[in-house]
Amino acid sequence: MTRILIDCDPGLDDAVALLAACHSPLLDVVAITTVAGNVGGAQTAQNGRIIRTLADSEDIPVHAGAPRPILRDPVTAEDFHGTTGLGGLDVPEPSAPLSPTHAVNALIEHCRAAKSDLLTLVMTGPMTNMALALTMAPDIMEGISEIVLMGGADREGGNITPFAEFNIYADPHAAAAVFGCGLPIRCLSLDVTHTLRTTKDRLSQVRAVDTSQADYAAAFLEASCKLEFSAKGRRDAPLHDPSTVIALAYPHLFEGRRAHVSVVTQEGEQFGRTIPHFADDGPVLWYDKADVEGVFKALCAMLEGAA
Ligand code: BDR
Ligand code: CA
């Protein structure tokens, strides 16, 4: 069982990632930290609590984090997630409260406590919390075995500008700090997530899984497809954030190349662009290929609670 902390900005696809991770026997989610991103910080924290309730995982603490990026003006992605971040779907009131500990302090505490049993950090939103934690307490790197993140784009081009992917564009300075920190990173960029399309058949496979987590995941994926259609004119929304936890639980489904990754932090048309410099000694495994059917089967297995 891999011990993970999930730093996220829920978000419809973050929600599916959280449901899959919390229900999978292969992963042990020790905490959820939230950050402003798809919607504002108060709403992502509220959504973190809601999804924890849907996941039947009230024992996992949810910590609210940075309400804005480090330097740039805040940007959000309501076009793809709705004004609530959860596609306007009917969701229950969360039962457990937020933890009183700020996400950045929680990250620091969990990493420091993990020294004998290293922690994997999963990041599915702007990387503000981790950049702040690394700045406040660089020693936390000793407690982290690797970072698995969704963000960036190379051959695919961007999804928020022609060059930039949303999570990086929303806080490029934070992303530069994380990509440059030297820890091993596995990166699920648009180069691979754009191949993971939620077709009708794949959505039906998720819907057929007989757990409440799968029912909610199917509803979130369906809402994602509807919003993708309004925003981009195609219905089969990419499976962005769940790819992180699937790659962790089932690494054989993905292939990539090692790279050093730099981030364009200078304002201009390439602001927020990621540039992988491919080299065998790079700290980043830049995934660019996946067994697509295998990935959706793995998602179903996780939502079913199977190994
Ligand atoms: C990423 O941006 C967000 O809108 C999604 O939740 C995902 O993390 C995809 O570019
Ligand atoms: Ca996200």
Question: Ligand 1 pocket test: which of 8, 38, 43, 75 has the largest number of ligand atoms within 8 Å of its C-beta?
Answer: 38
Catalytic site residue 240? Answer: yes
Query: Quick one: tokens of 193?
Result: 């997530």
Domain ranges of the chain: 2-304
Q: Which of 23, 240, 252, 260 is catalytic?
A: 240
Please tell me the predicted confidence (pLDDT) of residue 242: 98
Give CATH for domain 2-304: 3.90.245.10
45: amino acid identity, one letter: A
pTM over 0.85: yes
How far apart CA 235 and CA 226 sit, in angstroms, is 6
Please tell me the predicted confidence (pLDDT) of residue 10: 98
67: amino acid identity, one letter: P
Mean pLDDT of 223-238: 95
Contact 62, 9 (CB under 8 A): no
| Ligand 1 nearest-atom number relative to CA 80 | 4
| Ligand 1 nearest-atom number relative to CA 124 | 8
Question: Ligand 1 pocket test: which of 167, 221, 225 has the largest number of ligand atoms within 8 Å of its C-beta?
Answer: 167
Cβ of 127 closer than 6 Å to ligand 1, yes or no, is no
How far apart CA 22 and CA 25 sit, in angstroms, is 8
Q: Write b or e for each residue in 34-65: b if 16 or more Cβ atoms lie within 10 A of its Cβ, otherwise e.
A: bbbbbbbbebbbbbbbbbbbbbebeebbbbbb
Q: How far is CA 28 from the centre of its chain?
A: 16
Neighbour order of strands in the sheet with 185-188: 62-64, 27-34, 2-8, 119-123, 144-150, 185-188, 284-290, 254-263, 274-278
114: amino acid identity, one letter: A
Contact 169, 137 (CB under 8 A): no
Beta bridge partners of 62: 32
Q: Does an H or E element contain 206, and which?
A: helix 200-207
How far apart CA 269 and CA 179 sit, in angstroms, is 21
Please tell me the predicted confidence (pLDDT) of residue 193: 98
Cβ of 150 closer than 6 Å to ligand 1, yes or no, is yes
303: amino acid identity, one letter: L
32: amino acid identity, one letter: I
pLDDT tens digits, 235-263: 999 999 999 999 999 999 999 999 999 99
Mean pLDDT of 169-177: 98
Question: 307 pLDDT exceeds 90?
Answer: no
Contact 16, 40 (CB under 8 A): no
CA gyration radius, the chain: 17
Mean pLDDT of 6-26: 98
Cβ of 154 closer than 6 Å to ligand 1, yes or no, is no
Please tell me the predicted confidence (pLDDT) of residue 265: 98
42: amino acid identity, one letter: A
* Average pLDDT taken over every residue of the chain: 97
pLDDT tens digits, 101-128: 999 999 999 999 997 899 999 999 999 9
pLDDT tens digits, 282-304: 999 999 999 999 999 999 999 99
Question: 95 pLDDT exceeds 90?
Answer: no
pLDDT tens digits, 57-90: 999 999 999 999 999 999 999 999 999 999 999 9
Q: How far is the CA of 115 from the centre of ligand 1 (A)?
A: 30
Per DSSP, the three-state class of 189 is coil
Cβ of 11 closer than 6 Å to ligand 1, yes or no, is yes
Mean pLDDT of 170-174: 98
Give the rounded percent of residues in the chain with a pLDDT score beyond 90: 98
pLDDT tens digits, 181-219: 999 999 999 999 999 999 999 999 999 999 999 999 999
CA-nearest of 112, 127, 154, 111 to 35 is 127
